[in-house]
A = this chain, B = another copy of it.
C-alpha cells in the first residue's frame, strides 16, 4: 500500500550529491518541494551548493513554482535522518552494483514500505539493484537525462519484484512534478535514449579512428545539420515528415535498400514487412494523422526559432 497520492507529495528525499543527485535536488526545489538530501560526506556540501546555485539561475528563467525556494533544501550525513518523513526518494549514488545493493538493503529496512524509491541508474537493472532489499516491490528505475533540471525525460522500468502499483504511482508522480516519464517495455541495458546516443557516439569514434572526420567536423555536422531538428522531432517523425506526402511509407519503400549500404559500421537489421509496417503505423499513430503540411509547418517554425535563438546568442 503506497502512502501518499502522487500529486500530494510535498517532501522528497534525494540520495547522492553528484551532478545527477544535485540536479534532481535543484529540480524538485524549483517545483516547490521540500528536499532532504543525503550526503555521503559533509565535504560534498560546498560543491553541491555551487551546483544548486548554478542550476537555480536557469530554473528561475524557466519559471519557479509557487513557494519554490533554495531554503527548502535540507541535508544530513545520516541516512535515517535524511530520509525520515519523505514521501518519495530519488537515489543517485555512483553506478556500482554492490554499492546500490547495500544501500537498498538499508533503505528497505529504514524507509516506510509505502514510500517509493526510484533509482537514477543509467546502466544497472532494478532486478539486480533490489536483490538484497527486504521491501523490493516499491523500488523502480527513474533514469533522468543530464542535466535533470533542464531535460524532462525520465526513463522508467521496474525490476522483477517491483509491483505494478509502484510503476503506476511513480509515473503519475513524475508527471505531477512536471517531468516526461517514459515507461519502458523491457529491462534493456542503456534503455532508449542512452542507446540512441551511444549509436551516434560509436559512429563518431569510428570516423575519428579511420581518419574520416575530426572531432570538430563531427560536432559541426550535428549542430549545423540534424541537431536542431532533433530538439523538435525524433528520428521517426523526421523521416515521416521528410517523406513528404508519402510519409514514413515512402521513406522506407524508397530508401529501405540504403540500409544495406555501408554508411555506418552498425550491422543493419533485416527490414522485414513486419518491421516496415510497425514503423509506418507507429508514425501515423504518433502524429494523430496530422498531415504533411501541418507537420512540416510545425517543424519549420521550430527551426526558425532555434536559428534566431542561436543568432542572438552569438551577439
Contacts and interface: CB of A to CB of B under 8 A. Distances in A.
Closest 8 CB pairs of A and B: A219-B234, A215-B282, A190-B263, A231-B231, A193-B225, A227-B230, A153-B224, A266-B266
Nearest to A216: B286
B205 A202 contact: no
A218 B204 contact: no
A217 B195 contact: no
A285 interface: yes
A289 to B, nearest CB: 14
Interface stretch (A82-90, A98-106, A302-310): A302-310
Nearest to A271: B205
Contacts of A123: 258, 261, 263
Contacts of A302: 309-310, 313
Given A199-B199, A231-B230, A192 B221 contact: yes
Given A226-B230, A282-B214, A200 B202 contact: no
Interface of A is mostly: helix
15 contacts: A123-B258, A147-B303, A151-B225, A151-B229, A190-B264, A192-B217, A196-B218, A204-B236, A215-B278, A218-B235, A219-B233, A223-B234, A227-B232, A227-B234, A265-B267
Residue among A58, A203, A261 with most chain B CB within 10 A: A203
B235 A307 contact: no
Interface string A279-299: 100110110000000001110
B185 A145 contact: no
A314 B282 CA distance: 22
Interface of A: 19, 54, 57-58, 61-62, 123, 145-147, 150-153, 155, 180, 182, 184-186, 188-209, 211-237, 239, 242, 244, 258-259, 261-272, 274-275, 278-279, 282-283, 285-286, 296-298, 300-311, 313
Contacts of A268: 202
Contacts of A269: 202, 205-206, 209, 265
B266 A265 contact: yes
A185 B212 contact: yes
A248 to B, nearest CB: 8
Given A202-B264, A219-B233, A269-B205, A193 B309 contact: no
